[in-house]
Amino acid sequence: MASPSELNRLTIANAATMLRKREISSTELTRACLDRIAAVEPRLHAFLTVTNEQALEQAAAADRRLKAGDAPELCGIPLGIKDIYATKGVATTCASKILGNFIPPFDATVIAKLRAEGAVFAGKTNMDEFAMGSSTENSAFGPTMNPHDLSRVAGGSSGGSAAAVAADEILGALGTDTGGSIREPASFCGVVGIKPTYSRVSRYGVIAFASSLDQVGPFAKTVRDAAIMLRSLAGHDPRDSTCSARAVPDYPRALSGDVKGLRIGVPKEYFVAGMEPEVERSVRAALKQYEAMGAKTIDISLPHTAYAIACYYLVATAEASANLARYDGIRYGMRAAAEDTIALYEMTRAQGFGAEVKRRIILGTFALSAGYYDAYYLKAMKVRTLIRRDFERAFETCDVIVTPVAPATAFKLGEKMNDPLTMYLSDIFTISVNLAGLPGLAIPSGYDTNNLPIGMQIIGAPFAEETILRAGDAFERSGAVTLKRPAL
């Protein structure tokens, strides 16, 4: 049995079993996580808000429920919540000054679901402002550091959630993924992250960046833990008109460990010049491991991949321009002192938004403006269709597609902040999945010579979460990778 000071290292599955057997209490587990947060946060900065008192109250309630025998699997489990989810009574800032004083009067749907299950909320995690970024350096409240090397980024935009799980501050966390914002930080921090199919999970109460691309998903220490969380998060929500009414499978039940006969597509466009050699070696070694386990690899092509970056940054910024127009200093959030309405709009946004958010609003507004809509936004939407068709054709011959998550491991803090285009290229292997609305799983596939994690991406057809989770779990079980705990 884990000692009280090591309970925070447990997986969700193991902790849930121990809680039900009454070997540990949720209060003990939560205290271990809060103690860990207090110990490492000054160096890590994964959290923007730590809800100590609320977490212990939720843990006590979970213990009563566990004692009564009425307890779902997430009951009593401490989680981190990306600061993009409306959380009733708790500051929800989106890591932006413009929402620095915003306390929602309601819960996002997935927050309400987790509350109903008796999960414990340890706090709100750091992120890139309005989820715009690949490093969590765009947070108005300072960057999150990578637990494996505090001089490097944790990835973004959900870097706080990934770092908190990797550092054993919590057992799991929520993130959002618009162009790779779950999978890239999962890769950089050496944890598991899944972006479900677009519409699989409700977005109601999630502060919008790009509505046709955003998707809710979990971070966890293992694929099984991610499957447990996804089972609780997924499902129809009448308050989200884009949310699928499909029944939710029992994702953990799909984790058979068997991949015999699984057809794995390997796209040539995802193994390109300029990729770190150690990243390519790691992912190709994983493919060899799959073959040894009875899977079959197939070379495929996704020919429109080269246009994905340009397509994404037109679609995403155009939608951001529309979504962020609501931050005007009138209804909620920051309000600048001004003499007239126009000045109020200008000064509120100038003072409240960070540089990256302003950059994307300007680009998106330009792409939607009269005379440029057809040349930019409409053309990008046509390319998006071609990218989706590439995947449709690929899935006629394979069951999953395996690629690197990113072309490199975690980069140094500040290394790319002054070169936005280089920063945008960090998402080159993830954004096509969002444009096509597909599910994608990031799992550790190894480490580079600096002991930095390398992530492998497993992409599935629409609503094929069971398949990618099964493939990820089988690789995890194979023992091909020995995970390394950050030396914090």
Of 230, 263, 296, which residue sits at a domain end? 263
| Alpha-carbon gap, residue 149 to 184, rounded angstroms | 16
User: How does residue 422 score in pLDDT terms, banded at 50, 70 and 90?
Assistant: confident
Tokens of residue 160, six digits:
């706080």
Same domain (yes/no): 39, 155: yes
User: How does residue 487 score in pLDDT terms, banded at 50, 70 and 90?
Assistant: confident
Same domain (yes/no): 317, 233: no
Same domain (yes/no): 63, 169: yes
CATH number of the domain within which 252 lies = 3.90.1300.10
Determine the average pLDDT of the residues in 26-48.
98
User: Is 274 a member of any domain?
Assistant: no
Tokens of residue 239, six digits:
């308050």
Determine the average pLDDT of the residues in 12-39.
98
Q: Which residues, at least 6 apart from 184, have a Cβ–Cβ distance to it below 8 Å?
A: 134, 155, 156, 405, 406, 426, 427, 430, 442, 455
Determine the average pLDDT of the residues in 110-122.
98
pLDDT for 418:
84
Same domain (yes/no): 346, 242: no
User: Is 395 a member of any domain?
Assistant: no
Of 361, 382, 403, which residue sits at a domain end? 382
User: Is 203 a member of any domain?
Assistant: yes
pLDDT over 60 (residue 21): yes
| Alpha-carbon gap, residue 341 to 319, rounded angstroms | 24
Instruction: Record the pTM.
Output: 0.97
| Alpha-carbon gap, residue 73 to 230, rounded angstroms | 12
pLDDT over 60 (residue 4): yes
pLDDT for 423:
85
Other residues' Cβ atoms within 10 Å of the Cβ of residue 448 = 17
Same domain (yes/no): 123, 183: yes
User: Is 8 a member of any domain?
Assistant: yes
pLDDT for 274:
85
Same domain (yes/no): 216, 319: no
Is pLDDT larger for residue 240 or for residue 332?
Answer: 240
Quick: pLDDT tens for 99-113: 999 999 999 999 999
| Alpha-carbon gap, residue 168 to 164, rounded angstroms | 6
User: Is 421 a member of any domain?
Assistant: no
User: How does residue 333 score in pLDDT terms, banded at 50, 70 and 90?
Assistant: confident
Same domain (yes/no): 257, 332: no
Active-site hit among 25, 26, 82, 416: 82
Strand order in the sheet with 78-82: 47-50, 120-125, 78-82, 172-176, 216-220, 192-195, 440-447, 453-460, 400-404, 263-267, 296-300
pLDDT for 446:
98
Same domain (yes/no): 254, 318: no
pLDDT for 2:
67
Active-site hit among 135, 157, 161, 199: 157
pLDDT over 60 (residue 41): yes
pLDDT for 70:
81
Question: Can you give the three-state secondary structure of the chain, one letter per residue?
Answer: CCCHHHHHHCCHHHHHHHHHCCCCCHHHHHHHHHHHHHHHHHHHCCEEEECHHHHHHHHHHHHHHHHHCCCCCCCCCEEEEECCECCCCCCCCCCCHHHCCCCCCCCCHHHHHHHHHCCEEEEEECCCHHHCCCCCCCCCCCCCEECCEEEEECCCCCHHHHHHHHCCCCCEEEEECCCCCCHHHHHHHCCEEEECCCCCECCCCECCCCCCCCCEEEEECCHHHHHHHHHHHECCCCCCCCCCCCCCCCHHHHCCCCCCCCEEEEEHHHCCCCCCHHHHHHHHHHHHHHHHCCCEEEEECCHHHHHHHHHHHHHHHHHHHHHHHHCCCCCCCCCCCCCCHHHHHHHHHHHHCCHHHHHHHHHHHHHHCCCCHHHHHHHHHHHHHHHHHHHHHHCCCCCEEEEECCCCCCCECCCCCCCHHHHHHHHCCCHHHHHHCCCEEEEEEEECCCCCEEEEEEEECCCCHHHHHHHHHHHHHHCCCCCCCCCC
Tokens of residue 30, six digits:
């939560």
* Residue 82 a catalytic site member: yes
| Alpha-carbon gap, residue 17 to 14, rounded angstroms | 5
Same domain (yes/no): 245, 319: no
Per the CB < 8 A criterion, the answer to whether 132 and 208 are in contact is: no
404: Cα within 13 Å, side-chain hemisphere:
29
User: Is 323 a member of any domain?
Assistant: yes
* Residue 221 a catalytic site member: no
pLDDT for 1:
57
Determine the average pLDDT of the residues in 244-255.
97
| Alpha-carbon gap, residue 229 to 350, rounded angstroms | 38
Omega before residue 157 within 30° of 0, cis: yes
Same domain (yes/no): 312, 377: yes
Same domain (yes/no): 21, 165: yes
Of 263, 278, 294, which residue sits at a domain end? 263
Quick: pLDDT tens for 298-330: 999 999 999 999 999 999 999 999 999 999 988
Other residues' Cβ atoms within 10 Å of the Cβ of residue 485 = 12
Q: Percent of the chain having pLDDT more than 90?
A: 92
State phi, psi for 232 to the nearest 5 degrees. Answer: -80, -30
Q: Considering all CA atoms of the chain, what is the largest pairwise distance in Å, rounded to the nearest integer?
A: 71
User: Is 237 a member of any domain?
Assistant: yes
Per the CB < 8 A criterion, the answer to whether 8 and 171 are in contact is: yes
Active-site hit among 25, 134, 135, 181: 181
* Residue 382 a catalytic site member: no
Range of the domain at 244: 4-263
State phi, psi for 418 to the nearest 5 degrees. Answer: -95, 10
pLDDT over 80 (residue 244): yes
Quick: pLDDT tens for 168-205: 999 999 999 999 999 999 999 999 999 999 999 999 99
Residue with tokens 């040349």: 375
Quick: pLDDT tens for 435-486: 999 999 999 999 999 999 999 999 999 999 999 999 999 999 999 999 999 9
Same domain (yes/no): 227, 313: no
pLDDT for 426:
85
Strand partners, 298: 265
> What is the number of structural domains in the chain?
2
User: Is 240 a member of any domain?
Assistant: yes
